[in-house]
Structure formats: C-alpha cells, structure tokens
Amino acid sequence: MKKAVWVLCGIFLLFMSCSKKNDNPFFSKFGTPFETPVFHKIKVEHYLPAFKAGIEQDSLEIAAIAGNPDAPTFENTLEALDRSGELLRKVAGVYFNMLSANTSDELQKVANEVAPLLSKHNDDVLLNEQLFKRVKKVYEERESLTLTTEQQTLLEKWYKDFVRGGANLGPKQKDQLRKINEELSVLTLQFGDNVLKETNVFELVIEDEKDLSGLPEGVINTAAETARERGKAGKWVFTLHRPSLAPFLQYSDKRDLREKIFKAYIERGNHDNECDNKAIIRKITALRLERAKLLGYATHADFVLEENMAKNPTAVYNLLNQLWQPAVMRAQNELRELQAMIDLESGDFKLQPWDWWYYAEKLRKAKYDLDDEILRPYFQLENVRKGVFEVAAKLYGITFTERKDIPVYHPDVKAFEVREADGSHIGILYMDYFPRASKRSGAWDNSYRERFFNGREIVTPIVVNCFNFPTPTGKTPSLLTLEEVETHFHEFGHGLHDLLTKCNYLKVTGTNVPRDFVELPSQIMEHWATHPEVLKSFARHYQTGEPIPDEMIAKIEGSSLFNQGFATVEFLAAAYLDMDWHTITQPVDDVNAFENKSMQNIGLLPEIVVRYRSPYFQHVFSGGYSSGYYSYIWAEVLDTDAFEAFEEKGIFDPATAKAFRENILAKGRSEDPMVLYKRFRGAEPKIDALLKKRGLN
C-alpha cells in the first residue's frame, strides 16, 4: 500500500475515533451473540453518519486496490474488491431492512439523503478506470490462472458488472450514466413510499352491524380490534393490508362495500395527488431506457435479461405465450361457472372483478365443501412454523432454536439460531409475522448479513423472513389460510438458500443468483406445504389438538386445480405488463393508456384485473424485479420438475435432499444455474409438470 493511502487511512481512523464519542453502535462491535444488530441501541440519527463513514472507508479501500503497485492478481484485486466495504455493508444491512419492515417518516427522510450517496459511490467504483484496468487484466489472463469454479465465476461476474456499469463509456457518457443512476435511486424509493402511504390511508369503517353480513367471526373480531387501535371503538375497520382485504372480498355479502374496498386497492398511486406514482413511472421507464441505450442495448429488458437464464425478451414472451391461451380458456370456463351461480341466485348483474373472490369461495364451498374458514383452525401460526422447521430438519438435518437473548426490532419478531445436525452454528433467522403501519405489504426474505469468507474466518448469515399474517386477537391465535401456509413455506425456502450457502464470495453467495433462478428454492418448498404426509404432521385444530382429517386433506388435493385459470391469468397479465413497460423503445406519456393497451393486446378478460397495476407494481418499480416478474413462472417450470425427483424416491429421500442442498442451495451463483440444475436433476427441466400442476395440459 502506498504511503498516501496509509495517510488517508490514518485520517479515517481519527474520524472514526471521534465518531465513537457519539456512541454510534455501528462504529464498534455490537457485542451480541453472533454479532446480531443491537436494535434497541440504534437510533435514526445513527444511520446517516454511519453511511457516510462506511462510504469513506470503502472508498479508501477501493483506492488502495486500484493504486496497488504490484501486478494485478485474483487475490489482490478480485478478492480484495469482494471483501471491501465491511462498515458500509453493516449499516446498509440494518437500515434497508428497517426501511421495509419498521419504517417511519424520519427513516424515509434518511433514505432520500442516502440513496444518491450510494448511487454515486457505486458509480465511483464501477467507473474507476484504474480499478477496471486491473480487473480487466486479470480477466484477460484467466485461461492461464489456477482458479476454482467459484473464483472463475466471481471474476467473470465482476468484469461484466464493470462493463455493464459503464466502464467502457467515454467521459461525457459516464457523467450521463451517473445522473441517470442517481435519479433512479431516488425515484424507486419514492415509488415504494407512495404505495405504503396509499395503503395505510384507506379505511373502510363499518358502523352498522348488518354490513358485516357473511363475514366470519374471526374476521369481524380482527376488524373490531383494528378499530379500537385506531380510536374507533365500537366500529369495525377494514384496510388494504392482505389479511384484512382478502377475507372481506371473499366473504362479505355487501357487494357495494366489496366494490369500494376493491377499487381502493387497485387505484393506489393513481389519485393525481401527492402520492400519485404515474409521473414517477414515466420517469423511471424513460431513464431505464436511456441507460440501456447508453450501454448499447435496445431496451431495458435486453439489458436485464442478458444476465438471467432467459437471456432475452423473446424467450420470456415465448414462455408467457405458451401459457396464456390455455390459462384464458380455463379462466373463461371458471367465469361461466361463477356467472351461472349468480344467475341461479337471481342476481341481476354481470360478474365484476370485485365479485370474483366472493363467488369463487362460494363455488369452492359448493363443489368441495371447503373454504378458508374451515381450514383456518388447523393452521395455527405456531404449528405451521413448527411444520416448516420439521420439513427442513428431515431434509437437511438442521435445527432451529429460539434465542431470546438476541435483540429484535419489534416485539412481534422472533429470533432462531440455525444449527447443523452436529450442533455447529449455521446462522440466525428472524421471523416477523404481522402487519403494521410501519411495514410494507406482502412477504419477503432478506439478509442483514450474508455468508462469506473474509480472509480470516467464515462470516455466518443473519436472515429475516417477513410476512403480513393475521394478528392474534383476544384468545384467538393467528390462524392462517392455506395460501398463507404456502407463503410461509415459500419465504422459508428463500431463507434456506441464504442460510445453507457454502460460497466464499459475497458477489455469488446465497440468493445472489439470477432472478429467474432465485425462486426455485422458495417455490419448491410450497410442494411440501400441502403434501398429505406433511399436513398430517403440523395441521392440528388449535382448540382440540386433533390432526386435520384425511377427508379434508383429500378435499385440498381435489380442489388443487380450482380457480387456477384466474390465478394464472392474473399473474401472467402482470408479467406481460412488466415486459411491455421494459421493452419500450420510446418514452411513454400516458401511464394508464399504456397499461390499458398492454392488457388489450393480450385479451385480458374484463372480469379479471392484472395482479399488480402499474401505480403500485412495487416488484418492478421499487423492488428489483424490473423485466423479471416472469421469473416466478419460469422458476415454476424448475420447481415442479425438481419436486418430481423427490416424489420418485420419497419426499424426504436423503440422497435427493443431499443432492438438492449440495447442487442448488449451497452453490449460490458459483456456477451457471442450468449447469447446477442439470447436475441435480440429470437433465434440463420440462414444462409438463407445470402444465399438470396448473391444469393447463
């Protein structure tokens, strides 16, 4: 290291020493078991100074790597680059998880300051000419180097990231790219903030008990509790959060109220007010297009998909087109059945989107003597979690032990230590189950810290699963729907991917894989959720303790294809919409007109609304899935095919589980995803199992 760099490091250490006087927890060891975050000590005012210090520290480390007088090698350039930025990762890991799961106005203000700083820092790294020369030199000499497969992948990934990050652009183009990235970093945050505000602001307040007609007792009790929490005791409040919205649409006999809450849900971000997202969408898509063209790509989708299994938009559209017509035909048959039920009840109206869930639930009850409220008592949250853990134990021999000595960021959150069968430590898994105003909607997995080798020791992962499940009320525990049970297994699958990785480098560890591969470990877990053998192990009535009856399991199996036309059409429409937004070659002026045209082009049934309308499509405008929402169905081809391997030899077959763990869960992005899949399965996946699962064959 050159003398100038040592001087800079000395200045930084002096800065850090002064900063410690402010008792900022990020500037010292957390001092907790496994160095888990000290949430109770971290305050909003700690984040910005820690971010700035982290950026400064990483900048010095990058300067040292770029200015190293020794010839570039894999070790002094790629390994050093991958391990740099320890403080920045530490604060970012905590902050961005809090921004999603336990946010506040103050925390969101920090985001608006931090986003451009992080964007600039990322560009400073990828546009560092001296650093790129070193990376390029190692890359050009790669054939003569003795590298592991993981190291080869790391080298290729870093080199491509530099090129895709603008390293080969001229000075003016680099300045243009910086401005685009900075603006996008702020716009995507604003988009998500607006959706959260629009979700939280709506209340359907019911004062007349007659307007509760059709709603199950548990749903009514939850609405009463929500009303009390919001200063409306004696009334009932329904919100746009999934545990409140979904059962209202399924069971409420009041068609006018179903219409009201449904329209409020699908119009979020589309009210021409301070939270309107249409202008933001126009800017985001235009900037993404401009960046793609600047980097030599025809569209943003071409830029994104190059790094995915799909490789290009044509492959994505081909998959969607292959599924669309069979799905529409099935949905049309479902529509006819629902309309017939309306006519039989002498309903003088044509089925509308806010009617679908209601009549589908009635039809399921009539056809299979089954509905969510019959199943809920068997799906107590604690039992479902136990079932999830038991499946992982049977497959991989791992255990989960609650650790009450580990700090959590909210009283609802639980922390578990994950261990191998021999007792050795794997990592920490937080579970955050219930909705709140400070938490975004949906369910997700994320990491506070990823598993890697820092040159001295293995750094173990700290992972979180977040949900929005029904909150316990009174003496009634949290009781889940079958869909929520599947969601628990799904996110846990992502968690296993993060926890069981054996990769040594941050760039390729855990879930840092292509978007259309990352859903394989999560979606395959859903198959265990509804398998009869697994259901019998954890589904017990919360009051009597009786296991779920065999005849009820048979009904679940018998109804597995029910409403699959609707579910598939609703999803595919969103995947088409995402692709259409990101294959534009000219900026769009009218967001709603563009969306309408997109849906007209595929012939979306008027009785079905696209799963995510543009103004609240967080996956693609604030969640990292741009040109990637298709990945759920792409990965479903993989997961249905992969689960057949388990079914062929037994769903807990040790050899199959070992092969899946070693070739998929442990490998991260250390090799090409298709190579990993074929090593596990012995062949490329076939679409047959997916078509069968969704009843489209």
**To the nearest whole number, what is the mean pLDDT of the chain?**
95
Q: Which residue has the higher pLDDT, 643 or 14?
A: 643
Do 102 and 206 lie in one domain? The reply is no
Q: How many residues does the chain have?
A: 697
Do 331 and 432 lie in one domain? The reply is no
Convert the pLDDT of each residue in 397-454 to its tens digit.
999 999 999 999 999 999 999 999 999 999 999 999 999 999 998 999 999 999 999 9
Averaged pLDDT, 160-189: 98
pLDDT of res. 687: 94
Do 351 and 456 lie in one domain? The reply is no
Do 70 and 164 lie in one domain? The reply is yes
Do 361 and 418 lie in one domain? The reply is no
Do 572 and 644 lie in one domain? The reply is no
Q: Which residue has the higher pLDDT, 316 or 17?
A: 316
DSSP characters for 577-643?
Answer: HHHHHHS-SS--S-HHHHHHHHHHHHT--TTS--SS-GGG-HHHHTSS-TTTTTHHHHHHHHHHHHH
Averaged pLDDT, 20-42: 92
Structure token digits, residue 369 = 């003597």
Give the SS3 label for residue 80: helix
Does 92 map to a domain?
yes
Do 412 and 360 lie in one domain? The reply is no
Q: Do β-strands 462-466 and 425-432 pair in parallel, antiparallel, or remain unpaired?
A: parallel
Please report which confidence band the pLDDT of residue 483 belongs to, taking 50, 70 and 90 as the band edges.
very high
Structure token digits, residue 184 = 């996008």
Question: Would you say 9 and 437 are in contact if contact means Cβ atoms under 8 Å apart?
Answer: no
Report the CATH number that the domain containing residue 155 is assigned in CATH: 1.10.1370.40
Structure token digits, residue 210 = 């007659």
DSSP label at residue 559: T
pLDDT of res. 14: 46
Q: What pTM value is reported for the model?
A: 0.94
Question: Would you say 8 and 53 are in contact if contact means Cβ atoms under 8 Å apart?
Answer: no
Does 330 map to a domain?
yes
- HSE at residue 405, side-chain half, CA atoms within 13 A, is 7
Does 526 map to a domain?
yes
Does 274 map to a domain?
no
Who contacts 319 (Cβ-Cβ below 8 Å, separation ≥6)? 310, 630, 633, 634, 637
Please report which confidence band the pLDDT of residue 81 belongs to, taking 50, 70 and 90 as the band edges.
very high
pLDDT of res. 22: 67
DSSP characters for 278-326?
Answer: HHHHHHHHHHHHHHHHHTT-SSHHHHHHTTSSS-SHHHHHHHHHHHHHH
Beta bridge partners of 473: 476
Do 337 and 394 lie in one domain? The reply is no
Neighbour count for residue 23 (Cβ, 10 Å) = 11
pLDDT > 90: percent of the chain: 96
Measured distance CA(199)–CA(461) in Å, rounded: 32
Task: Return the minimum-mean-pLDDT range out of 7-21, 382-396, 602-616, 653-667.
Answer: 7-21
Measured distance CA(25)–CA(42) in Å, rounded: 6
DSSP label at residue 141: T
Pick from 142, 168, 194: which residue ends a domain? Answer: 168
Does 621 map to a domain?
no
pLDDT of res. 603: 98
Measured distance CA(49)–CA(52) in Å, rounded: 5
Averaged pLDDT, 649-675: 98
Do 88 and 223 lie in one domain? The reply is no
Does 687 map to a domain?
yes
Does 185 map to a domain?
no
pLDDT of res. 456: 94
Measured distance CA(265)–CA(369) in Å, rounded: 29
Question: Would you say 442 and 105 are in contact if contact means Cβ atoms under 8 Å apart?
Answer: no
Do 471 and 517 lie in one domain? The reply is yes
Convert the pLDDT of each residue in 363-408 to its tens digit.
999 999 999 999 999 999 999 999 999 999 999 999 999 999 999 9
Structure token digits, residue 464 = 């979180």
Convert the pLDDT of each residue in 291-325 to its tens digit.
999 999 999 999 999 999 999 999 999 999 999 99
Question: Would you say 219 and 252 are in contact if contact means Cβ atoms under 8 Å apart?
Answer: no
| Domain ranges, residue 118 | 3-168
Count of domains observed in the chain: 4
* Active-site residue, selected from the candidate residues 491, 519, 526, 595: 491
Give the SS3 label for residue 369: coil
Averaged pLDDT, 504-531: 97
Active site (annotated) includes residue 217: no
Give the SS3 label for residue 204: strand
Structure token digits, residue 37 = 């975050």
Q: Is the pLDDT of residue 122 over 70?
A: yes
84, 305, 565 from 578: Cα distances, Å: 34, 13, 20
Do 394 and 450 lie in one domain? The reply is yes
Question: Would you say 291 and 179 are in contact if contact means Cβ atoms under 8 Å apart?
Answer: no
Who contacts 336 (Cβ-Cβ below 8 Å, separation ≥6)? none
Pick from 108, 143, 168: which residue ends a domain? Answer: 168
Q: Is the pLDDT of residue 15 over 80?
A: no
Residue that is written with structure tokens 């604030």 in the block = 622
Does 192 map to a domain?
no
Please report which confidence band the pLDDT of residue 642 belongs to, taking 50, 70 and 90 as the band edges.
very high
Indicate the residue type of 123.
Answer: D
Please report which confidence band the pLDDT of residue 475 belongs to, taking 50, 70 and 90 as the band edges.
confident
Please report which confidence band the pLDDT of residue 33 belongs to, taking 50, 70 and 90 as the band edges.
very high
pLDDT of res. 346: 85
Q: Is the pLDDT of residue 9 over 70?
A: no
Measured distance CA(53)–CA(196) in Å, rounded: 30
Question: Would you say 154 and 453 are in contact if contact means Cβ atoms under 8 Å apart?
Answer: no
Measured distance CA(119)–CA(197) in Å, rounded: 25
**Whose CA is closest to 398, among 416, 419, 424?**
419
Rg (C-alpha) for the chain, rounded Å, is 26
Do 339 and 429 lie in one domain? The reply is no
Convert the pLDDT of each residue in 248-262 to its tens digit.
999 999 999 999 999
